Amino acid sequence: MKNLRRKTLAAASAVTLGVGLAVAGGLAPAASAAGPDATFLVLAPQGATTAKAAARVAAANGTVVAKYDQIGVLVVRSTNPDFATAVAGAGVESVASTAGLGSALDESETVEVATADAAAITADPTKEPLYGQQWDMDMIHLPQAQAVNAGSPNVVVGVLDSGISSTHPDLATQIAKDKSTSCIGGVTDTTEAAWNPTTSDHGTHVAGTIAAAVNGVGVAGIAPGVKVAAVKVVNDDGYIYPEAAVCGFLWAADHGMQLTNNSYYIDPWELNCRNDARQRPVWQAVQRAIRYSNSKGVLNVASAGNSNYDLAHKITDTASPDNSDTPEVRENLTNACLDLPAEAPGVVTVGAVGPTGEKSYYSSYGQGVIDVTAPGGDTRFRTQGVRSTLTDGILSTTFNTATKTNGWGYKQGTSMSGPHATGVAALALSAHPGMSPGQLASFLERTSVTKSCPQGVYNPVPLSAAGPHAYDATCSGGARNGFYGAGIVDAYNVVK
């Protein structure tokens, strides 16, 4: 029997939130004793207004800090220790406390390049000073693609992450500042300082892969002609909470974005189980937000995760929640338990490959789950897991949060493969405007380069300190399979 194991890797974006609690019943009197100030998601019945729910929130000594009438969700703060019980009743379908912590991001290493050493500006991505270290861009045929179409400024990609450095020389001209915001706490703040990075450069790295300028400085992005918007959902402690994710999806939908990149988890559990009363409200709120964004023309792209877990065959979870020293054992799991947002309907799920084009040792997989695959890095395959080879990661833009300086550096993870797929999708939409989210997702799959399953049990790192079988994985399927989905995304194929 296989256990679910969370692996925190360089730039593995695992982050956050608390448990959900479904409630029902009449209006309970608010408690007089005050507890800690806590955040809740309060859901009105599907299709109903939030008016009745807001009235119950007030009666239960809660304060609405954000109201998302588009999907019937309220973000509420309260010091009432019995708030979840007190708010239950007519007009409230469910309530979720979002108290809890997740796994902090590992920021990896940074390679500094002085802007004074920049090459002459050309329209050729291969002339960027650090392009020689971007093996990932050759893999997806970026030079050929940009010779045809380098992206349209009419395409805006929302980077739901830890913020984007607005002073980075490879990104300063690429950011749609008028569409950027912080969603921390579920409340928007459009000041530039609010959506810039503070303790994590993860979002800056992601943004560079998607759209770093071809300007003679640093690296080349996949679609330098498009714009990226910073939608900050990772807080200063390195966690993402559901109210921030809901806010992010709705902000992108209501501000003209056609794509979002999501390199994170939305739960301290690796899997969010819709049949678990504690978790169901979180699933409901996030799924409502994703469904709404799809209806507004947004295609959401998400990373599959770094647990080397077969998402198509979920059995046992013994390592969650990751905000507890005593994880619960959940057995006999079914496909009602999903990795959010990667497995939510309407989301393109992306696995990772390394420099050889083979599945990265850490990448989660699953027949019928992985839609496409893209370069995410694999720093251990050369030594079979004995030590890391940094340059086999993904090179992109970084921001040193200690010194407040911009730079370039390597990270690896499905956090890095996701933005490759997003960047290719942005090129596709630039070359073929007007596609709906469903059409764009299908086109991304049809233009990917198919890759067959390896024979037998796959494990590129048998000498790992975790043990000789720690990264065993078995691929299933034919032209479309559990390791690679429809195949490795190809930038040239989407624009030619």
pLDDT at position 267, please?
63
Task: Please report, for residues 207, 310, 352, 378, 470, the alpha-carbon distance to residue 362 in angstroms, rounded to integers and kept in the order given.
Answer: 22, 11, 8, 8, 10
The vertex-145 CA angle with 142 and 147, nearest 5°, equals: 110
| Ranges of CATH 3.40.50.200 domains, the chain | 3-15+104-495
Q: Which residues are catalytic?
A: 161, 202, 415
pLDDT at position 103, please?
36
pLDDT at position 322, please?
59
pLDDT tens string, the chain, 496 residues long: the values are 334 433 333 343 322 222 222 222 333 334 445 778 999 999 999 999 999 999 999 999 999 999 999 999 999 999 999 999 999 999 999 998 887 533 334 344 444 544 444 344 457 899 999 999 999 999 999 999 999 999 999 999 999 999 999 999 999 999 999 999 999 999 999 999 999 999 999 999 999 999 999 999 999 999 999 999 999 999 998 888 889 999 999 999 999 999 999 998 776 666 778 877 778 888 899 999 999 999 999 999 999 999 899 999 877 776 666 556 666 777 767 778 888 899 999 999 999 999 999 999 999 999 999 999 999 999 999 999 999 999 999 999 999 999 999 999 999 999 999 999 999 999 999 999 999 999 999 999 999 999 999 999 999 999 999 999 999 999 999 999 999 999 999 999 999 9
CATH 3.40.50.200 for domain 3-15+104-495: yes
pLDDT at position 303, please?
97
Which parts of 196-266 fold into alpha helices (H)? 202-211, 242-254
Residue 20: count other Cβ atoms within 10 Å of its Cβ: 28
Return d(Cα 454, Cα 339) in angstroms, integer: 25
The CATH class for the domain spanning 20-97 reads: alpha beta
Return d(Cα 118, Cα 373) in angstroms, integer: 32
- φ, ψ for residue 323 (rounded to 5)? -105, 20
Return d(Cα 4, Cα 2) in angstroms, integer: 7
